[in-house]
Structure 1
Amino acid sequence: MGRARNAVKAALAEAGWPSRVLVACSGGPDSLALAAAVAHFARRGAVGGHALEAGAVVVDHGLQAGSDRVARTTAGVLEALGLSPVRVVAVEVRQSGEGPEAAARAARLGALEAAAAEWGATAIVLGHTLDDQAEQVLLGLARGSGTRSLAGMRSVRGPYVRPFLSLRRDDTVEVCAAEGLEPWHDPTNADPRYMRSRVRTVVMPFLESELGPGVAEGLARTASILGQDAAYLDAEAERLYAGLVERRAAGEAPGAVLLPGEEVRALPGALRSRVLALAIVELGGSPTFERLSAVDRLLERRGSAGPVEVPGHVSVRRQPRRKDAAPGFEYGKLVFVSHR
Structure 2
Amino acid sequence: MDRTRPRLIPPEQPAILEIRHAVRAWLADAATRDVTVGLSGGADSLALTAAAVVEADSVHAVVVDHRLQDGSDAVARRAAAQAKAWGCVSARVVEVDVHGDGGMEAAARRARYAALDDRRDGRPVLLAHTLDDQAETVLLGLARGSGGRSLRGMAAFDPPWGRPLLAVRRSTTRAACSELAVEPHDDPHNTSAEFTRVRLRHEVLPLLDEVLGGGVAPALARTAVHLREDGEVLDADAARVASRTVTADGVDASALAQHPPAVRRRVLRSWLIGSGATGLTDRTLRAVDDLVARWHGQGSVAIGGGTPEARLVVSRRRGTLNTAFEDRGRV
Structure 2 CA distance, aligned partners of 1:278 and 1:61? 33
Helix, strand or coil at the partner of 1:189: helix
Select 2:38's aligned residue among 24, 35, 40. 24
TM-score by length of 1: 0.86
Q: Report the AA paired with residue 126 of structure 2.
A: V
Question: Between Structure 1 and Structure 2, how many residues are aligned?
Answer: 304
> Does residue 1:114 correspond to 2:128, yes or no?
no
Partner of 1:105: 109
Q: Compared with structure 1, are the counterparts of its residues 241 and 162 closer, same or farther at alpha carbon in structure 2 (3 Å cutoff)?
A: same
Residue segments in structure 1 that go unaligned for 5+ positions in a row: 43-51, 250-257, 320-330
Aligned-residue RMSD, C-alpha: 1.4
Instruction: Give the C-alpha shift of residue 301 in structure 1.
Output: 2.6
> Does residue 1:318 correspond to 2:316, yes or no?
yes
Structure 2 CA distance, aligned partners of 1:302 and 1:41? 60
Partner of 2:295: 301
Helix, strand or coil at the partner of 2:290: helix
Partner of 2:275: 283
Matches within 5 A, 1:129-140: 129-140=130-141
> Does residue 1:271 correspond to 2:263, yes or no?
yes
8 Å contact 1:276–1:292 — kept in the other structure? yes
Structure 2 CA distance, aligned partners of 1:133 and 1:293? 27
Q: Report the AA paired with residue 269 of structure 1.
A: P
8 Å contact 1:21–1:54 — kept in the other structure? yes
Structure 1 CA distance, aligned partners of 2:153 and 2:229? 11
Partner of 1:234: 235
Partner of 1:58: 63
Structure 1 CA distance, aligned partners of 2:188 and 2:198? 10
Structure 2 CA distance, aligned partners of 1:274 and 1:244? 12
Instruction: Give the C-alpha shift of residue 14 in structure 1.
Output: 1.6
Instruction: Give the C-alpha shift of residue 23 in structure 1.
Output: 0.4
Partner of 2:309: none
Select 1:39's aligned residue among 53, 56, 79. 53
8 Å contact 1:283–1:338 — kept in the other structure? no
Instruction: Give the C-alpha shift of residue 214 in structure 1.
Output: 0.6
Instruction: Give the C-alpha shift of residue 315 in structure 1.
Output: 1.9
Helix, strand or coil at the partner of 2:185: coil
> Does residue 1:88 correspond to 2:90, yes or no?
no
Q: Report the AA paired with residue 53 of structure 1.
A: S
8 Å contact 2:23–2:55 — kept in the other structure? no
Residue segments in structure 2 that go unaligned for 5+ positions in a row: 1-15, 307-311, 327-331
Partner of 2:162: 161
8 Å contact 2:241–2:256 — kept in the other structure? no
User: More displaced, 206-215 or 195-204?
Assistant: 206-215
Structure 1 CA distance, aligned partners of 2:34 and 2:305? 35
Instruction: Give the C-alpha shift of residue 41 in structure 1.
Output: 2.8
1:256-283 superposed Cα distances (whole Å, 9 cap, x missing partner): xx11111111210101111111111112
TM-score by length of 2: 0.89
Partner of 1:47: none
Partner of 1:4: 19
Instruction: Give the C-alpha shift of residue 121 in structure 1.
Output: 3.6
Structure 1 CA distance, aligned partners of 2:259 and 2:128? 39
Helix, strand or coil at the partner of 1:315: strand
Partner of 2:10: none
Partner of 2:12: none
Helix, strand or coil at the partner of 2:271: helix
Helix, strand or coil at the partner of 2:256: helix
Structure 1 CA distance, aligned partners of 2:325 and 2:227? 32
Instruction: Give the C-alpha shift of residue 307 in structure 1.
Output: 2.2
Q: Report the AA paired with residue 145 of structure 2.
A: G
Q: Report the AA paired with residue 44 of structure 2.
A: D
1:85-141 superposed Cα distances (whole Å, 9 cap, x missing partner): 110001001131x2211111110000000011xxx2420000000000001111111
Q: Report the AA paired with residue 109 of structure 2.
A: R
1:41-83 superposed Cα distances (whole Å, 9 cap, x missing partner): 34xxxxxxxxx21110010011111111111111111111111
Helix, strand or coil at the partner of 1:133: helix
Instruction: Give the C-alpha shift of residue 84 in structure 1.
Output: 1.9
Instruction: Give the C-alpha shift of residue 338 in structure 1.
Output: 6.9
Structure 2 CA distance, aligned partners of 1:162 and 1:266? 38
User: More displaced, 260-269 or 29-38?
Assistant: 260-269
**Structure 1 consecutive aligned stretches of length 4 or more whose deviation exceeds 3 Å:** none
Percentage of pairs with the same residue: 44
8 Å contact 1:301–1:332 — kept in the other structure? no
Partner of 1:292: 285
